[in-house]
Chains A and B, each alone.
Chain A
Amino acid sequence: MNINEKLSTLKYNKDKDSHLSVDNNICRKCIKKVCTYICPANVYEWNDNSSSLIIRYENCLECGACKIACEKNNIQWRYPSAGCGVKFKNG
Chain B
Amino acid sequence: MENKTEVIVIGAGPSGVSAAIVLARAGKKVLLIERADNAGDKNMFGGEIYTKQTLEIFPNFIKEAPIERPLTEQGFFLINNEDSVKFSYKISPEKEADSYSVIRSKWDRWCVQEAQKAGVIFAPKTLVKELIVENDKVIGIQTELEKYYSDIVIIADGVNSLLAKQIGLRKEISDCDVTVNVKEVYKLNKEKIEDRFNIDEKSGYAAKILGGPLKNMFSIGFMFTNKETLTLGVGISLDDLKRLEKKPYELLEEIKKHPSVSNYIKGAEVIEYSSHMIPEGGYNKMPKLYKAGVMVVGDAAMLVNNVHFEGTNLAMLSGKIAAEVATEALNSGDYSEKFLALYDKKLRESIVIKDLITHKDTVSFLKKHIKTITELYPEIACEMFKVVTSASNEPKKIIYRRFFMKLIKSGVIFKSIPLGLFAIRKCLEK
Query: Is the CB–CB distance between A34 and B242 below 8 Å?
Result: yes
Interface residue from A37, A42, A61, A73 paired with B274 (Cβ < 8 Å): A61
Q: Is A82 an interface residue (CB 8 A)?
A: yes
Q: Is B154 an interface residue (CB 8 A)?
A: no
Of A20-28, A50-58, A63-71, the one touching chain B: A63-71
Chain A residues, CB < 8 A from B74: none
Query: Is the CB–CB distance between B180 and A38 below 8 Å?
Result: yes
Q: Which single residue of chain A is at the shortest CB-CB distance from B158? A: A64
Chain B residues, CB < 8 A from A64: 159-160, 178, 277
Interface residue from A37, A63, A79 paired with B275 (Cβ < 8 Å): A63
CB distance from A57 to the nearest CB of B (A): 15
Q: When chains A and B are docked, how far (Å) is the Cα of A20 from the Cα of B36? A: 18
CB distance from B7 to the nearest CB of A (A): 21
Contacts known (A6-B249, A87-B37); A68 close to B274, Cβ less than 8 A: no
Interface residue from B37, B44, B175 paired with A68 (Cβ < 8 Å): B175
Contacts known (A9-B270, A38-B180, A63-B275); A91 close to B44, Cβ less than 8 A: yes
Q: Is B253 an interface residue (CB 8 A)?
A: yes
Q: When chains A and B are docked, how far (Å) is the Cα of A63 from the Cα of B248? A: 12
Interface band, chain B:
35 or more
Q: When chains A and B are docked, how far (Å) is the Cα of A46 from the Cα of B300? A: 32
Chain B residues, CB < 8 A from A77: 160
Query: Is the CB–CB distance between B42 and A40 below 8 Å?
Result: no
Chain A residues, CB < 8 A from B91: none
Q: When chains A and B are docked, how far (Å) is the Cα of A88 from the Cα of B108? A: 12
Query: Is the CB–CB distance between B36 and A65 below 8 Å?
Result: no
Among B104, B125, B273, the one with the most A-chain Cβ atoms within 10 Å of its Cβ is B273
CB distance from B309 to the nearest CB of A (A): 17
Query: Is the CB–CB distance between A81 and B103 below 8 Å?
Result: no
CB distance from B102 to the nearest CB of A (A): 10
Q: Is B182 an interface residue (CB 8 A)?
A: yes
Q: CB-defined interface of B144-178 with A at 8 Å, one 1/0 digit per residue?
A: 10000000000000011010000000001111001
- 19 example contacts (A-B, Cβ-Cβ < 8 A) are as follows A6-B273, A10-B272, A34-B242, A40-B182, A40-B248, A61-B275, A63-B180, A63-B275, A63-B277, A64-B160, A68-B238, A79-B162, A81-B144, A82-B125, A82-B127, A87-B36, A90-B231, A91-B272, A91-B274
